[in-house]
Amino acid sequence: MRVLGIDCGGKCTGYGVVEQDDRGELRHLACGAISLRPKMPLPERLNLIFQQLRAIIATHRPDSVAIEDVFYAVNVKSALKLGQVRGVAMLAAATCGLEVAEYAPLAIKSAVVGYGRADKSQVQQMVTRLLRLPALPQPQDASDALAIAICHLHTAATLSRHAAHPAH
């Protein structure tokens, strides 16, 4: 299974593509960030995110997309911007026929680090270890996106195990 994780942000949107084989081995395929110029009008920024995400989907052909659920924003204005970026990310996935899974930050950190209150550097260290990367993924948004993809793969694996072995 191949997952595109997206860490939505108003200034920078991270992405990470992770694959899990039949033995449960995780493999890093790509990661990076779509950086936005602050002076760029909002519709242009949203279009850039949309076009870039569609290009990433076309290149890496994920089976599904996972994004972080909004849980906190500094203020109403930043919450609205983040919501617009999340909407564009969902639209990019939907126009490519992909389902989108949403995860709370606590669930992502728990799946990757084993502790829901882990800080960003702990998440980055664990992502590096789980994917056997030679260096920390940069920028931090890319690392967060990889964590979101790993969370989805762990969740999907757990759900399929429960489906294969229902409780009696």
Q: Domain spans of the chain?
A: 2-164
What pTM does this model have? 0.92
User: Per-10-residue mean pLDDT for the chain, 168 residues long?
Assistant: 94 96 94 92 95 98 94 77 93 97 94 92 96 95 97 79 53
| 143 vs 128: CA distance, rounded Å | 8
3-class DSSP assignment, residue 25: coil
CATH topology of domain 2-164: Nucleotidyltransferase; domain 5 (3.30.420)
- Whole-number pLDDT of residue 160: 56
Of 33, 57, 46, nearest in space to 143 by CA: 33
Any residues with CB less than 8 A from the CB of 61 and at least 6 apart, and which? 2
The residues assigned a catalytic role are 7, 68, 141
